[in-house]
A and B are shown apart, each in its own frame.
Chain A
Amino acid sequence: MKKSIILIIAALLVLASCSDFTPKAPYEYADDGTWEGIFSGFWHGMNENYVFWNVDDTDWDGVYRKYMPLFRDLGEYDNEDTSEDAARYFYDIVSGLSDGHLSVTVNLKNSMFEGEVEKFSIAPGYIRLAKQNGKTDEAIFEAIYGNNEFGSNLLQLLPPEVMRENTRNILSYVYGLRFTKGTGSEIRDEILSHSDYTNSEGKTVLLYSNGHASGETVSKDWGKVKYYPVSDVLGDNPSINDCFSSWTLMIVLSTSRSSSDKNAYSTTIESMAFAGITKNHGNTIPGIVYTTFSNFMFAGLIRSDYTKAGTYGYLSDFHDYKADPSVKGLVVDVRGNTGGYNLDREYLFGDIMKEKHQFGYQRSKMGYNRLDFSALLPVYIYPEAGNLQAIYGSSDATHLYDKPFAVITNCYSVSNAEMAAFLAKSMPKGCQIGGTTFGAQGTLAGDYLDMNAGSFTVGDYISQVYTPFAQVVDINGVSHEGKGCVPDIEVPFNKDDFEDGTDSRLQSAFDWVKSAIED
């Protein structure tokens, strides 16, 4: 009897765990200036603030057990000879993680130039794409180690569609618009000459529309909207006016100091958005609203008075196309779209919603431990016609809600572009066409102290761990983080055909809309 009681008490004490672990901010672990401390800060920062532990296959405790002794053996951070080993360890740890947004920037002592620090950035989303393109870890590590400009070497290892299949090239190859001089990369002078409305961030919004072909300034409630001559962007044999009865194009120029000459400025085309109503031409069926845009940039441009009017002008034109009662469907092309502001979902699609429309769920981190998650919170796109009445007027675009809604994606459709795929899969008549998306579907804001999870640093040693504060999963509660959204209709990318102006993914989208209209 006495033995039994002792055994029961012993069992209870074993079950009753007692730990006095007190969490510290990640940078505090690295105060001692050793690789062991830096790794410990990174490991704990990820342990407590990374939000994909319930979908990530990585054995994070196993990582601790394996790499802690290795980093301990590296000794002091200040020893330049340890940089490459440390870089490789971090590469091996990070490259297999699911988070598509994740980017870890380790500042390494330069082994060639004493006193200099080199940034070594590891982004598992890009590494995953390079591996899909048949590249090995060795080749990828070699491409990014010792390369301050993250991505410039790595981009060469990615599938061809990453750099080619995007809004700018779709408009160039398929519809005959031209933004550069000849075959080079220098922007046409006609475009560069317009910088009347540059905001404090060096951004200029240029608006072109075949409804204002000669270029004119239109007074609207929200300001003067200047349309530039469409000849500025037409190529030698444009087909755009053959394919669209009405179209509008927004170009965002970005001017910044040249990296080579601090006294010089350089201007690039940062973003682009296009919308139009198709007409009967070739295999295209008439009466479809088609839109393509390079990223979700509208909310940021609306914040500045200098870029707000042009942005509202574009959104107003896009809304008018959607509100045309004769249009039969919507094709949203997010190939090469790198994501951006969540609010842009409201600007772009809120006017077709009759009621708030659920497209997925958000899962947030609540506590310190890896699996301390909230329940799934439904996420919606809200009916925005009322909120945007000053811009949209009284025209109603909600008739499109029940009509075919196609989203074209590729492997470089990232973040909010993937939310467009979630939207397609949740609409009454929706379809995702093209390629599997990038697999970066979390939502970002602030840092781990502001949001209870997400981005953090490990002092100056790891200057950035860029990661979302919450997951977003699809309408069925399934996470596609690190895997991407698989299209309903998969269409392979053909580089040669695409550059010759034959866009099989776009054609498949129009074909699907046609069949969906007939159903």
Chain B
Amino acid sequence: MSLVPFCCSITEAWYLEITRQCYWNPLFPIIEESESGWYSYPIIWRIMMRKTIIAVMLLFLSSMAYASDSPWSIGLAAGYSNASVLQNEGYRIDTDYISGHGFSISIPVRYDVNGYFAVETGLTYIQKNFRLRKIGRESTSSFTMTQDQINGFVEIPLSCCFSISNGMASATASFGPYIGIWAHSYRVEKPYNSSKGLGGEGSGDIAAGFHSFTAADNRFEFGFLFSAGMEFDFTSSILFIRGMYDISVTDLAASYQIDQVESHNSTFRVEAGLRLPIGGRR
């Protein structure tokens, strides 16, 4: 009974440590501009992070008291994502996409077909963040235009998993498609400002806020997911850690013009989590 407040106090301490560190720790993505030119998390992400840590700890602790034997299992995982955009560069050789840091939270649901094969689906929230950067020229000097996108996707994967077990530890690999919805896009943009003061005021001005999706955006995403990792079977629960890569086949923009230049998400992810059996025999 006293575990919950105990957990909360621990996670609160973690959370405070994380948020204190996120201004410099590259593992934690960023939104508001700091001295270094990157951006720190808005408060909403900090709250989500705290709730996720609490949920993971509660799941882990409750699993200690529950044992089952079932082909079905469900879990919770969280991880770090690093996304970039694939696009034909064309003639804008001074424009590039820089990969951005993000995080993911997923609820994997798995059905073990036999000792080697399984099918996994679930629900994933993943950030696919990136920076669009353009080096421009003005008279004799140069300037940098940027657009930082914090993009959140909610996805449903469907993977075919293969694993080789050696008692408690298993090596796993999976492949399959996924579909997703582009849930939100928070953007911090620093275009070239044509309206500057005589002392250069305004040259670093930014526009920041949630992007209002329009008919020009394609919010449906379809792509393929690959993963490889390790699993550890603790009788009552399975701890897993895995590296994942997903690539979207769909364009980030809706198809609205002749000779459209397409942009595709390309995302690496490392996640760790815990799965619990759901009733029956495993």
Chain B interface size range: 35 or more
B262 interfacial by beta-carbon distance below 8 Å: yes
Chain A interface size range: 35 or more
A455 interfacial by beta-carbon distance below 8 Å: no
A217 interfacial by beta-carbon distance below 8 Å: no
Asked whether, in the complex, the Cβ of B194 is within 8 Å of the Cβ of A449, the reply is no
Q: Which of A15, A24, A25, A345 has the most CB of B within 10 A?
A: A15
A17 interfacial by beta-carbon distance below 8 Å: yes
Contacts of A25 in B (CB 8 A): 91
Asked whether, in the complex, the Cβ of A450 is within 8 Å of the Cβ of B194, the reply is no
> Which positions 47-90 of chain B face chain A at CB distance < 8 Å?
88, 90
- What 0/1 readout, one digit per residue, does chain B (194-221) give for beta carbons within 8 Å of chain A? 1111110110011111010010100010
Asked whether, in the complex, the Cβ of B260 is within 8 Å of the Cβ of A60, the reply is no
A392 to B104 Cα, complex, angstroms:
57
Give the Cβ gap from A415 to chain B, nearest Cβ, in Å.
Answer: 12
Asked whether, in the complex, the Cβ of A15 is within 8 Å of the Cβ of B222, the reply is yes
Given known contacts A369-B257, A446-B136, A452-B145, A382 and B198 CB-to-CB distance under 8 angstroms: yes
Stretch of B8-16, B106-114, B185-193, B238-246 with 4 or more beta carbons under 8 angstroms from chain A? B185-193
Asked whether, in the complex, the Cβ of B222 is within 8 Å of the Cβ of A12, the reply is yes
Contacts of B209 in A (CB 8 A): 375
B229 interfacial by beta-carbon distance below 8 Å: no
Asked whether, in the complex, the Cβ of B189 is within 8 Å of the Cβ of A17, the reply is no
- What 0/1 readout, one digit per residue, does chain A (360-390) give for beta carbons within 8 Å of chain B? 0010101111111011111111101011100
Asked whether, in the complex, the Cβ of A375 is within 8 Å of the Cβ of B189, the reply is yes
Give the Cβ gap from A378 to chain B, nearest Cβ, in Å.
Answer: 7
Asked whether, in the complex, the Cβ of A470 is within 8 Å of the Cβ of B194, the reply is yes
A140 interfacial by beta-carbon distance below 8 Å: no
A281 interfacial by beta-carbon distance below 8 Å: no
**Within the complex, which residue of B91, B145, B208 is in contact with A364, where a contact is CB–CB below 8 Å?**
B145
Contacts of B134 in A (CB 8 A): 366, 452
Asked whether, in the complex, the Cβ of B256 is within 8 Å of the Cβ of A370, the reply is yes
Asked whether, in the complex, the Cβ of A17 is within 8 Å of the Cβ of B255, the reply is yes
Contacts of B259 in A (CB 8 A): 19, 21, 23, 44, 47
A16 interfacial by beta-carbon distance below 8 Å: yes
Asked whether, in the complex, the Cβ of B201 is within 8 Å of the Cβ of A21, the reply is no
**Within the complex, which residue of B137, B220, B256, B261 is in contact with A368, where a contact is CB–CB below 8 Å?**
B261
A432 to B205 Cα, complex, angstroms:
28
Contacts of B260 in A (CB 8 A): 17, 19, 21, 369
Q: Chain B's interface: helix, strand, loop or mixed, by majority?
A: loop
Asked whether, in the complex, the Cβ of A342 is within 8 Å of the Cβ of B256, the reply is no
Give the Cβ gap from B13 to chain A, nearest Cβ, in Å.
Answer: 37
Contacts of A347 in B (CB 8 A): 198
B20 interfacial by beta-carbon distance below 8 Å: no
Given known contacts A17-B251, A375-B211, A345 and B145 CB-to-CB distance under 8 angstroms: no
A24 to B138 Cα, complex, angstroms:
23
**Within the complex, which residue of B90, B132, B197, B214 is in contact with A350, where a contact is CB–CB below 8 Å?**
B197
A451 interfacial by beta-carbon distance below 8 Å: yes
Contacts of A224 in B (CB 8 A): none
A22 interfacial by beta-carbon distance below 8 Å: yes
Contacts of A23 in B (CB 8 A): 88, 90-92, 259, 261
Given known contacts A15-B222, A369-B253, A445-B138, A22 and B88 CB-to-CB distance under 8 angstroms: yes
Give the Cβ gap from B203 to chain A, nearest Cβ, in Å.
Answer: 11
A356 interfacial by beta-carbon distance below 8 Å: yes
A343 interfacial by beta-carbon distance below 8 Å: yes
Contacts of B44 in A (CB 8 A): none
A392 to B38 Cα, complex, angstroms:
39
Instruction: Give the residue name and chain of the B residue nearest to A356 (CB).
Output: B201
Give the Cβ gap from B233 to chain A, nearest Cβ, in Å.
Answer: 32
**Within the complex, which residue of A15, A371, A445 is in contact with B220, where a contact is CB–CB below 8 Å?**
A15
Asked whether, in the complex, the Cβ of B198 is within 8 Å of the Cβ of A387, the reply is yes
Asked whether, in the complex, the Cβ of B90 is within 8 Å of the Cβ of A345, the reply is no
Asked whether, in the complex, the Cβ of B222 is within 8 Å of the Cβ of A366, the reply is no
Give the Cβ gap from A398 to chain B, nearest Cβ, in Å.
Answer: 15
**Within the complex, which residue of A13, A378, A446 is in contact with B137, where a contact is CB–CB below 8 Å?**
A446
Contacts of A57 in B (CB 8 A): none
Give the Cβ gap from A474 to chain B, nearest Cβ, in Å.
Answer: 13
Contacts of A445 in B (CB 8 A): 138, 192, 194
A443 interfacial by beta-carbon distance below 8 Å: yes
A346 interfacial by beta-carbon distance below 8 Å: yes
Give the Cβ gap from B200 to chain A, nearest Cβ, in Å.
Answer: 10
Give the Cβ gap from B156 to chain A, nearest Cβ, in Å.
Answer: 12
Asked whether, in the complex, the Cβ of B193 is within 8 Å of the Cβ of A377, the reply is yes
A403 to B207 Cα, complex, angstroms:
31
Give the Cβ gap from A448 to chain B, nearest Cβ, in Å.
Answer: 9
B40 interfacial by beta-carbon distance below 8 Å: no
A64 interfacial by beta-carbon distance below 8 Å: yes
**Within the complex, which residue of B95, B198, B222, B261 is in contact with A343, where a contact is CB–CB below 8 Å?**
B198
Asked whether, in the complex, the Cβ of A12 is within 8 Å of the Cβ of B261, the reply is no
Asked whether, in the complex, the Cβ of B194 is within 8 Å of the Cβ of A379, the reply is yes
A25 to B251 Cα, complex, angstroms:
22
Give the Cβ gap from A77 to chain B, nearest Cβ, in Å.
Answer: 22
Q: Which of A13, A18, A375, A378 has the most CB of B within 10 A?
A: A375
Given known contacts A16-B249, A366-B132, A375-B209, A24 and B191 CB-to-CB distance under 8 angstroms: no
Asked whether, in the complex, the Cβ of B202 is within 8 Å of the Cβ of A382, the reply is yes
Asked whether, in the complex, the Cβ of B250 is within 8 Å of the Cβ of A16, the reply is yes
Contacts of A388 in B (CB 8 A): 198
A519 interfacial by beta-carbon distance below 8 Å: no
Contacts of A236 in B (CB 8 A): none
Asked whether, in the complex, the Cβ of B193 is within 8 Å of the Cβ of A362, the reply is yes
Contacts of B223 in A (CB 8 A): 16
A485 to B156 Cα, complex, angstroms:
49
Instruction: Give the residue name and chain of the A residue nearest to B195 (CB).
Output: A379
B22 interfacial by beta-carbon distance below 8 Å: no
Asked whether, in the complex, the Cβ of B191 is within 8 Å of the Cβ of A370, the reply is no
Instruction: Give the residue name and chain of the A residue nearest to B90 (CB).
Output: A23
Asked whether, in the complex, the Cβ of B195 is within 8 Å of the Cβ of A450, the reply is no
A61 interfacial by beta-carbon distance below 8 Å: yes
Given known contacts A24-B90, A24-B91, A374-B189, A443 and B194 CB-to-CB distance under 8 angstroms: yes
- What 0/1 readout, one digit per residue, does chain A (30-71) give for beta carbons within 8 Å of chain B? 000000000000001001000000000000110010000000
Given known contacts A382-B202, A387-B198, A450-B138, A12 and B179 CB-to-CB distance under 8 angstroms: yes
> Which positions 437-454 of chain A face chain B at CB distance < 8 Å?
443, 445-446, 449-452
Asked whether, in the complex, the Cβ of B205 is within 8 Å of the Cβ of A384, the reply is no
A370 to B214 Cα, complex, angstroms:
13
**Within the complex, which residue of A346, A443, A449, A472 is in contact with B198, where a contact is CB–CB below 8 Å?**
A346
Contacts of A47 in B (CB 8 A): 257-259
Contacts of B216 in A (CB 8 A): 369, 371-372
B122 interfacial by beta-carbon distance below 8 Å: no
Given known contacts A362-B194, A377-B193, A21 and B88 CB-to-CB distance under 8 angstroms: yes
Given known contacts A47-B257, A446-B138, A451-B192, A377 and B197 CB-to-CB distance under 8 angstroms: no
Instruction: Please name the 4 residue pairs, one residue from A and one from B, whose CB atoms are nearest each other, closest first.
Output: A23-B90, A382-B197, A364-B191, A16-B249
A-B contact pairs, 25 of them (CB 8 A): A12-B179, A22-B88, A23-B88, A23-B91, A24-B91, A61-B258, A356-B202, A364-B191, A366-B147, A371-B214, A371-B216, A372-B216, A374-B147, A374-B191, A381-B195, A382-B196, A384-B197, A386-B199, A387-B197, A387-B198, A388-B198, A446-B138, A452-B145, A469-B194, A470-B191
